Structure 1
Amino acid sequence: MIYFIIPIIVLIIAITIIFMFRRKHIQQVGRLEQEKLQIQHKPILEEMTKVKQLNMTGETEENFERWRNEWTEVMDIHMPKIDSLLFDVEDLVDRFRFGKATEVEKGIQEKILFCDKKMNDILQELNELVGSEEKNRIEMEKLKEQHRAARKTILAHQHSFGMTANPLEKELEAFNPKFDEFDELTDNGNYLLAREIVISLSAKGDRLFEIIHETPSLLAELQNKIPAALRELRNGMKEMEEQSYYLQHLELTDHLDAIESELEELQSKMAELQIESVQQGTSEINDRIDSYYDALENEVTAKHYVDDNHGEIAAKLVEITALTKETSDEAAFVQQSYRLNEQEAQIPQQSLKKLSAIDKRFEMLAGRIEEKVSANSSLQEELQQISEELMQIADEQDSFANRMKNLRIDENNVRTKLEELSRKLQHTDRMLQKGNIPGIPDEMEARLEEADEQIYIVTQSLQEVPLNMSLVDTYLESAEKAVIDVTGKVEELLDNVMLIEWIIQYGNRYRASNPEMHERLLDAEESFRQFRYAKALEEAATAVEEVEPGAMKRIQELVKEHV
């Protein structure tokens, strides 16, 4: 049976493959047929009908004939050829010649692509022609209307255009031949060439109509507004000079003369219709005129400042000079009692030197104000600088005066603090003496002596004349640290002594039953009698804790309750 089954299976597979290839090619033929129909249905004839409504002469007629021939070639030659090839493919597929069918399908695809491109090119050119005609007509009508409106504007407002009227008229007249040429090309069916004229005239018209719109306002700037501003500036300068304002440093006359020359050049450019250059020049001139107004206004403001503040600053100079001399005398007196560092001691004399220099500057400034030969802005700047320097010196003197006042306060504070430290050290010593302890360790005696020595050093430093408070503060800091340290150590020692006594009392309950405990407590008592309190505490605490773990915590709580 196996010899029959295998061939049957192979035959079934072969038939399946054949039908699969056949189905694939049938689908490909259907797709190619659909693409061919899409090409045939392109609206070429409809678009050609639109072209027939145009003037069928010249360029339009030539293009129409070419498009019709190309369309006829595609429809009458290439399409039948494609139909024939499609029948051939179907025949080859029926005869199972799939390889050959594939080659023919590729050829059909190439022809379809060729025809599709040809038809698309025709449609594009047709749309371009029809669209050009419509765009030309709409845009040219708008352009002619703008042209008529521009001519009417110039004729109705000749005075507003001045020297630009004739050049603008010539520019507008140059449009007429182009209008005639456009009409002629349109009448002859040369719509694409006419399109080029429309584009060219539109660009030129946009610029020219903008010039016509801007020219009246620009001329008004050049001929009226700017000259009026220049006259106003000259009159203002004259009035200010009559009021004794010094303005030579501004050189405004030269600047205004230069602007008048520039105005003549800009008007010449206006006659040549160089609008962009004139606009830029006018804007720059207006900016400069604004800056000249600002300069004159600044001089007026500066004069008010000088008039209002000159006397006040003079009085301030006298006041601060007197204050600085008083501070200098006070510093000399204070230095008899207190020592100042070199930098501090020089402050009054340095300030007096600065004030002397400022006084000379102020005298020169007063002369310039009286002579009225200097710009008020310059005088204002100098006055402001002198005022700032005076305020800085005044601040330095206030700070220095406060420093001297604080020296006496600091001395009193040191003496008060020193008395507190002495009392605290005496209290600590009495507390130690009354502590009911076998004796005072040598280390503790040394600490007490050290604290007492530091207090003595502070006391001696307060006897020096002149008094060096910086050094006194340093000594005081050392004394305070020593007293605080010894006080803490004494309190710690007394607490330890009390704790030792409680531990030994607590441990006595174990002496009879625990000989080792007895011996260790004896060692602790011996260390206690030798003033070795830290060692005694360690020995007693260790012995009790070993016999009764946790005992130290209970003993400390008992001591705390007792205290």
Structure 2
Amino acid sequence: MINYIIPIVIVLLVFVVVVIVYRKKHHNEISRLEQKRLDVEMKPVLEELSKVKQLNMNGQAEEMFERWRNKWTELIDVDLKNAGEALLKIEDSVDKFQFKNATAQEQEIEQIIDRVDGETELILTELNELIESEENSRVEIEKLKLDYRTARKTLLAHQYSFGAAGEPLEKKLEVFPGQFEEYDVLISQGNYLQAKDIVNELDRIGKEIFQLISEIPNLLTEIQHKIPNDVKDIRNGFNEMQEQSFFLLHLEIPEKLESIEQILPPLKEEVINLKTENVSSQIESIKREIDGLYDALEGEAIAKLYVDENFDKMGERLDEVSGFIDYIKSEADKVQLSYHLTDVEIALPINARSAMNSYQQRYDLLAIEVTEEQSAYSSLKEELEDLKKLVDVQFEQAQMYSNKLVDLRVHENDGRAELSKLEDRQRELKRKVQKANIPGVPDEITARLHESELQLQTIREELLEIPINVGVIAAGIEKSDILISEAEEVIQEMINNVQLIELLIQYGNRYRMAKPGMDEKLTEAEKAFRDLRFNRALEVAAIAVDSAEPGSLKKMEEIAKEAVLKS
């Protein structure tokens, strides 16, 4: 019996728990929807409507106020009220466990609340637009009135500056007083949105007119005075420079000035007709062209000064550099008798002389152009500057060549001095070898000394040659230095090793009879020493002595170093 009762009890408990959970869920949803309904109901529609009542309650304002108020009343008294009553009914359905029906009703009520919320937001948006429209329009219309009065005063006070453009500007301004009056009427009638349209239109018109009033005097000044004066100045300058024998045909200044003068009347007509959109850019283009003409004339004047100051100097410079090149050519011929010169070095003064002849021809042609006065000074200046650069390059190269010729004797003397030093080092090496306490000279040492001696002899013979090749001598000096340096290193190493071998054998004699094998090792080292195999002798003696008395090798090395330094 109990086995049947327990499952039934469990099922009942589960059912009760599910019912409780569903009831809790729906009660929470009902509370959420009620709060959402109250949030919509509490939105500040009435407060915003009270602000509208402070406006002129006529026309549009009154009509819109009534529409918003009626709509809000309907939303509160009908839609939201019905939603509240429906929520109470849903609670009854939940208490009766009609959960499916409750869910459908909850969804329907939320849709109603969302719709009411959207319509409420629309009312608030329209309210704010009306209130802000009134505030903004009031500020903007006052600014427009001030700008209008300022524009009128400017036109009256500076009629001359506006010329024929003053009348059409006056006509454009005539629209403002009537529109100001229309604005005031609409405001008094409560038609704020229509008034805002007037403000927007006046603002658009005002920006155009006030901009014209600001820029037209400057445009007319440029067209009627500044540009014509610049044209006159340039034409006068052009004529004066022509009288002074300037060649200016290539600048085409008369044609360009005439073109500018033809452009000005149409530009003035556009300004008078208040069509200034492209006038400013065209004026700027004309001013840039005028600046270019000024610069061109100034450039010709500066070029003439340069030509006048430097033409004769260039002729003198050509003579000076040509003379210098002829001098180094003769010096090269003399030097060539004593020193070897490469083909390039021999050809350099010849090529330089040829280049200078070419530059002289260009200068002679330039002299004709200067005399005939049928060339622009700017082109003459460019040619003169180019010639100067070319001649300067030739002079610098000639100077370097001259210095090189002088250096040949210096290099010869340096070579002889270096040879003497190398010979001293060679003799010192031979002395070291002879002085060393060795049974003979190893073949490697003999070969190195012989090779370095042959190289020194080659240098001696080169110094006796005529012409002397200082390049070959310098290379021989470098090679000899390397050979002697290598020989110095090898000989010094040999002397150090010999000193160490002698010390090791002397030190090892005390163990000769006491240590097994010591006599045999020392005898082998002595034989290698007599056979001039110093490296082998050192290796055998070092191993033998250090094995007999560890650390003795290092001690002998220190003693050997001191002995070598004292020798």
Q: Give the TM-score of the pair, scaled to structure 1.
A: 0.90
Which residues in structure 2 correspond to 1:37-436 (within 5 Å)? 37-45=38-46, 47-48=48-49, 51=52, 63-174=64-175, 190-436=191-437
Change (3 A) 1:211 1:543: same
Contact preservation (8 Å) 1:164, 1:272: yes
Mapping 1:9-48, distance limit 5 Å: 22=23, 24-45=25-46, 47-48=48-49
SS in 2 for 1:275: coil
Unpaired runs of 5+ residues, structure 1, are: none
Most deviating of 218-227 and 80-89: 80-89
Does structure 1 conserve the Cα–Cα contact (< 8 Å) formed by 2:321 and 2:391? yes
The one-letter amino acid of 1:146's match is D
Q: Which residue of 2 aligns with 1:538?
A: 539
Deviations 1:212-243 (A, max 9, x none): 11111111111011111111111122222222
The amino acid that maps onto 1:525 is E
Structure 2 CA distance for aligned equivalents of residues 151 and 500 of structure 1 = 120
Letter in 1 for 2:161: S
Q: 1:380 to 1:10 in 2, by over 3 A?
A: same
Which deviates further from its counterpart, 427-436 or 405-414? Answer: 427-436
SS at the partner of 2:441? coil
Alpha-carbon distance in 1 for matches of 2:134, 2:23: 52
Q: Is the 8 A contact 1:211 1:273 kept in 2?
A: yes
For structure 2, the 5+ residue unaligned runs are: none
- SS of the equivalent of 1:462 reads helix
For 2:169, give the aligned amino acid: L
Question: Is the 2:336–2:467 Cα contact (8 Å) retained in structure 1?
Answer: yes
Q: How far, CA to CA, are the matches of 1:540 and 1:424 in structure 2?
A: 32
Relative to structure 1, the CA distance from residue 16 to residue 247 in structure 2 (aligned partners, 3 Å threshold; closer, same or farther) is same
Between 1:366-375 and 1:379-388, the stretch displaced more is 366-375
Classify 1:552/1:152 alpha carbon distance in 2 versus 1 (closer, same or farther; 3 Å).
closer
Give, as a single letter, the amino acid of the residue that structure 2 aligns with 1:110.
Answer: Q
Q: Deviations over 1:471-508 (max 9, x none)?
A: 22222222222222223333333333333322222222
Give the residue type in structure 2 aligned to 1:77: V
Distance 1:309 1:236 in 2: 24
Letter in 1 for 2:530: R
Does structure 1 conserve the Cα–Cα contact (< 8 Å) formed by 2:496 and 2:561? no
- Give, as a single letter, the amino acid of the residue that structure 1 aligns with 2:390: E
Work out the CA distance in 2 between the residues paired with 1:531 and 1:133.
Answer: 121
Q: Percent identity?
A: 42
Per-residue deviation, residues 328-370 of structure 1 (Å, max 9, x unmatched): 1101111111111222222111111111111111122222223
Describe the shift of the 1:6–1:403 C-alpha distance in structure 2 as closer, same or farther (beyond 3 A): same
Distance 2:38 2:516 in 1: 127
Aligned twin of 2:483: 482
- Note if contact 1:163-1:270 (Cα within 8 Å) is conserved in structure 2: no
Structure 1 80/494 Cα, relative in aligned 2: closer, same or farther at 3 Å? closer
- d(CA) in 2 for partners of 1:139 and 1:418? 102
- Residues 26 and 455 (structure 1 numbering): CA distance in 2 closer, same or farther, change over 3 Å? same
Aligned length: 563
Deviation at 1:108, TM superposition (A): 1.9
**CA distance 1:453–1:54, shift in 2 (3 Å):** closer
Cα separation, partners in 2 of 1:104 and 1:509, compared to 1, 3 Å: same
- Alpha-carbon shift at residue 205 of structure 1 (Å): 1.5
CA distance in 2, matches of 1:261, 1:445: 102
Q: How do 1:542-561 residues align onto structure 2 when only pairs under 5 Å count?
A: 542-561=543-562
Bigger Cα displacement from structure 2, 404-413 vs 473-482: 473-482
Distance of 1:406 and 1:253 partners within structure 2: 62
Give the residue type in structure 1 aligned to 2:520.
E
1:526/1:281 CA distance change after superposition, 3 Å: same
My pick for the range that moved more, 401-410 or 65-74, is: 65-74
Say if 1:11 and 1:473 are closer, same or farther in 2 by CA, change over 3 A: same
Q: Which amino acid aligns with 1:267?
A: K
RMSD: 3.0
Decide which moves more: 511-520 or 378-387. 511-520
Cα distance in 2 for residues equivalent to 1:412 and 1:426: 21
> What secondary structure sits across from 2:237 in the alignment?
helix
1:522 aligns with 2:523: yes
Change beyond 3 A, Cα 1:558–1:34: closer
* 1:51–1:130 CA contact under 8 A, matched in 2: yes
Q: After TM superposition, give the deviation of residue 99 of structure 1 in Å.
A: 4.0
CA distance in 1, matches of 2:261, 2:490: 96
Aligned partner of 1:231: which letter?
K
Q: Which amino acid aligns with 2:217?
A: P
Q: Answer yes or no: is the 8 Å Cα contact 2:448–2:487 preserved in 1.
A: yes
Aligned-pair CA distance for 1:248? 1.9
Of 326-335 and 182-191, the range deviating more from structure 2: 182-191
Instruction: State the AA in 2 paired with 1:422.
Output: E
**1:301 aligned counterpart, secondary structure:** helix
Do the aligned partners of residues 547 and 128 (structure 1) sit closer, same or farther apart at CA in structure 2, a change above 3 Å counting? closer
User: What's the offset of the Cα at 1:102?
Assistant: 3.2
Secondary structure of the equivalent of 2:277? helix
**Structure 1 CA distance for aligned equivalents of residues 42 and 528 of structure 2:** 126
Task: Give the C-alpha shift of residue 382 in structure 1.
Answer: 1.6
Q: Note if contact 2:525-2:536 (Cα within 8 Å) is conserved in structure 1.
A: yes
Q: Structure 2 CA distance, aligned partners of 1:366 and 1:419?
A: 59
Structure 2 SS opposite 1:499 = helix
Rounded Cα–Cα distance in structure 2 between residues aligned with 1:49 and 1:552: 115
Distance 2:431 2:72 in 1: 132
Q: SS in structure 1 opposite 2:440? A: coil
* Structure 1 consecutive aligned stretches of length 4 or more whose deviation exceeds 6 Å: 2-17
SS at match of 2:274: coil
Pair 439,205 (structure 1): closer, same or farther in 2 beyond 3 Å: same
Distance 2:49 2:551 in 1: 118
CA contact (8 A) 2:496 2:560 kept: no
Shift of 1:83: 2.9
- Per-residue deviation, residues 386-435 of structure 1 (Å, max 9, x unmatched): 11112211111111111111111111111121122223222322332333
1:505 maps to a residue whose letter is Q
For each residue in 1:2-57, what CA deviation from the matched residue of structure 2 results, as whole angstroms up to 9, or x when unmatched? 99999999878876765665455445444433433443444445555555666666
Distance change (3 Å), C-alpha of 1:264 and 1:513: same
